[in-house]
Chains A and B, each alone.
Chain A
């Protein structure tokens, strides 16, 4: 099962290494990892997407909680949550593809944020499925490069992760 794990941690040098080190040392899988400081600059908020059985995910949250720099951990996938990912995708846009790309970007509610004679840079946000769908929908040969931020997520309504 795919899980979205949200972590509040001390914004300290080395904290990220402790977490990534834990995943590699124990053989846990990381699909994506995002991290940045919160409104309180002494803390960072991290979202990790991992795939594992319930037992493995339980160990992951316990092992994360054990790290001294980790303030709180929650498995967002346990209840209602929202997730978003940002993708920048550069595509070839010449000839009839130019119009087609514009149309696809519109359908997916993406923005074209940079234009040259032969390329578009499309910015797209959504859950990972939507970003995958966009990639699937356009002609693969036209993709020049893609950059994805990885998923960040938050619980809905009263589910709040705070120190």
Chain B
């Protein structure tokens, strides 16, 4: 069948069973948008800014395990999308971005809205393509979907010059593709897995440190099984939350810069560390030399060899897909009929229980002023722990991570690696499209929400009942906290003056707005939002304590054992 390039793009996306494209039209993609108009299998979600299209596609993927798809026009469409693409890249999110480009014969001549899209996005995509011939279009899109979701996932961009939209060729969508230069790891090395099992069984103070890889590979159930077989403690990274149930008694909570006392102490004192789909980020291990100064054996499972031995020395590297590696690990463990020595394990748990007694997440409740932590605790209660929670970046993000207990994967969506303010609201939109029946809350701050606040308009158009939980402390709180701790209280440019009236703003966009100023009103307001206004977007503007800080805290460049607790102050 002979089709135009524009028809081919749409047909390929249909073949990939794409439900939604998040995008924004413009000159170079008009041929494609015309074809989109003529069909009804794929729905297009018109955002208000390309960055939001990418975040929405990203969160659609994070909350569903499907590939997110977005479409933008050449030039400013692409440059607006870059922050979203980089956000997805650092957190390894599978995504396909289709971008328009100036016509092939004009590329390189500073044509209208021409930009070097492949060059600009190269460092923040898993791979990208400039398609120069309509005959290559279908196979390139096939490759893009394959690359995006296999191996270590990531965004792939396909740049399509405008003239390809009308060029014609025979359409045949390949069932599969092989790329000789790309063969992602699958099975782990059995000998290495055997060594890992041995090390774990001989351990006196074993710890599982599980990251975003568990979520990305859908292996939360396997991790839980493994942890229960071994009866060892588990800690999650910010990206791994929900990979092991937060309410499980073996869970120590999040570790790292704002991790719990017990998680960081366990990380520091474990003699055998099983790292699974986690990349020893600097926000997790603190100062690498301090971390390395404690002797311990490290087993590291990751699909990306470059994640292994990048920041710490590893004793047993296992390169493979977690699906297969965890299956084999569990099978070998079963076959060995071994157990971690009960006496040692009991004493290890005793240590941990001692650390837990510090109750490092406790905070002082105010009578007059709302504590931000309290809002998250109530959000957890009111939603029965069943909501999908997206967040922006800052103190509110950390409080959401610390106080909302995620028992299931793909419920916690945030920008961990890039730390992109502006992620939360568009992410909530993407999550609703993937999970129309699940309540979705966007925990944000008055700074972050304004970075993509225009998306309230998209929410109106598509009737997206996001519950925006704005922890309004009138400060770029995370910045203010660092200035208080490390810059002698010089609050340089961290006070946000002249805030809008968020209630009126929400109303102006056609939504419900509420401002909550007293602790006693927190729960009723949340109930009203989630029950009475279930099907509406509600902007909950909580005026919270402007002086509240996030604790515990491991200062930048310090060792994990040098944690600052709220009670120390």
Contact = CB atoms under 8 A, between A and B. Distances in A.
Chain A bound to chain B: yes
A69 to B, nearest CB: 6
A157 interface: no
Contacts of B130: 13-14
Contacts of A65: 305-306
Contact of A66 (B119, B123, B306, B309): B306
Contact of B147 (A21, A58, A68): A68
Contacts of A63: 306
Given A58-B309, A62-B306, A21 B179 contact: no
A9 interface: yes
B181 interface: yes
Interface range on chain B: under 10, 10 to 19, 20 to 34, or 35 or more?
Answer: 10 to 19
Contacts of A58: 309
A25 interface: yes
Contacts of B305: 62, 65-66
B304 A10 contact: no
Contact of B180 (A17, A25, A71): A71
A66 B182 CA distance: 8
Nearest to B305: A62
A21 B116 CA distance: 14
Nearest to A55: B309
Contacts of B180: 71, 163
Interface string B303-343: 01110011000000000000000000000000000000000
Contacts of B179: 68
Nearest to A72: B181
Interface string B110-145: 000000001100110011001000000000000000
Contacts of A149: none
Contacts of A13: 130
Interface string B294-306: 0000000000111
B127 A68 contact: yes
Nearest to B143: A68
A87 to B, nearest CB: 32
Nearest to A42: B180
A24 B162 CA distance: 32
B181 A10 contact: yes
A17 B126 contact: no
Interface in A119-163: 163
B509 to A, nearest CB: 40
Nearest to A63: B306
Contacts of A21: 122-123
A136 to B, nearest CB: 39
A147 B147 CA distance: 40
Contact of B181 (A25, A59, A71): A71
A34 B335 CA distance: 52
A5 interface: no
Contacts of B306: 59, 62-63, 65-66
A70 B309 contact: no
B194 to A, nearest CB: 24
Contacts of A66: 304-306
A109 interface: no
Shortest 6 CB-CB contacts between residues of A and residues of B? A62-B306, A71-B181, A68-B127, A62-B305, A68-B182, A25-B123
25 contacts: A10-B181, A14-B118, A14-B122, A14-B130, A17-B119, A18-B122, A21-B122, A55-B309, A58-B309, A59-B306, A59-B310, A62-B306, A65-B305, A65-B306, A66-B304, A66-B305, A68-B126, A68-B147, A68-B179, A68-B181, A68-B182, A69-B181, A70-B181, A71-B180, A163-B180
